[in-house]
Amino acid sequence: DTGVSQNPRHKITKRGQNVTFRCDPISEHNRLYWYRQTLGQGPEFLTYFQNEAQLEKSRLLSDRFSAERPKGSFSTLEIQRTEQGDSAMYLCASSPHGSYNSPLHFGNGTRLTVT
Amino acid sequence: TQLLEQSPQFLSIQEGENLTVYCNSSSVFSSLQWYRQEPGEGPVLLVTVVTGGEVKKLKRLTFQFGDARKDSSLHITAAQPGDTGLYLCAGGPSNAGNNRKLIWGLGTSLAVNP
């Protein structure tokens, strides 16, 4: 068990560019979550998958954001036409099933800076 | 909409002091998790409490779930610099239906000075 892996760890991009982040969850986990976090704040839910199905997407998420988990394993999060307000830490987490008591295993995030 | 309020938002103390952070809501949760997050890393689970009135201890950390399952507290005894970090609570709502999504507090940022 190597834990949840996220790449890249850091991304600096210019406003208007597209960026894509990757998350590799713990292999036997079927639930995968994406969160956004700004400095000193709690995680803000973006979306989650059960296997390859995207079950929920936050209403706060604009159409510029899209996530995929094509084979039910790794996931990608793409942000199109980035804006400065997109600068944040993007966290991925996985869990073995959907019980509230199942802990989330987080990766170390991708820190995005939009200049 | 269910919310979790954490207090205090910031806390700076000296090594050896005791502290308590709180996680409160007007809503009932089926369970509550506490995480600690260090700078540049993702949150790491400390404990899950599921029964009203439950108390769990993890070395110098004591977690309590309120009798009504609406609030929780984390008490740290004899804090050490290694306890520095962002403490987050997250609740499993009791009325979420098929959307099994945790509700997160905004966190308590703790600094323990040597």
pLDDT at B68 over 90: yes
Residue range B41-49: mean pLDDT, rounded: 94
pLDDT at A5 over 70: yes
Q: Which residue has the higher pLDDT, B52 or B3?
A: B52
Which pLDDT score, from 0 to 100, does residue A1 have? 56
Which residues, listed in sequence order, are joined to residue A93 by a DSSP beta bridge? A33, A106
- Residue indicated by tokens 């540049």: B40
As a whole number, mean pLDDT of residues B99-110 equals 85
> CB distance from A25 to chain B under 8 Å?
no
Mean pLDDT (whole number) for A75-89? 96
- Determine the pLDDT at residue B45: 94
Q: Establish if A43 touches chain B: CB-CB under 8 angstroms.
A: yes
- pLDDT of the residue at A102: 77
Smallest Cβ–Cβ distance between B42 and the set A48, A98, A106 belongs to A106
The answer to whether the Cβ–Cβ distance between A43 and B41 falls below 8 Å is no
Structure confidence by residue, pLDDT tens digits, A70-79: 988 999 999 9
Residue numbers in A near B45 (CB within 8 A):
103-105
Point out the residue among B31, B93, B99 whose CB comes nearest to the CB of A101: B31
Nearest Cα of chain B lies from the Cα of A16 at a distance, in angstroms, of: 26
Q: In this predicted structure, which of A105-109, B71-75, B93-97 has the lowest mean pLDDT?
A: B93-97
Kindly provide the residue ranges of all beta strands, DSSP E only, lying in B8-102, ordered along the sequence: 10-14, 19-24, 29-37, 44-49, 55-58, 61-65, 71-76, 85-93
The answer to whether the Cβ–Cβ distance between A43 and B48 falls below 8 Å is no
Angle at B34 between CA B28 and CA B40, to 5 degrees: 135
Q: Which of A64-68, B35-39, B93-97 has the lowest mean pLDDT?
A: B93-97
Cross-chain residue pair B86–A45, CB shorter than 8 Å: no
Measured between beta carbons, the chain B residues lying within 8 angstroms of A40 are: 86, 107, 109
Neighbours of B51 (CB within 10 A): 11
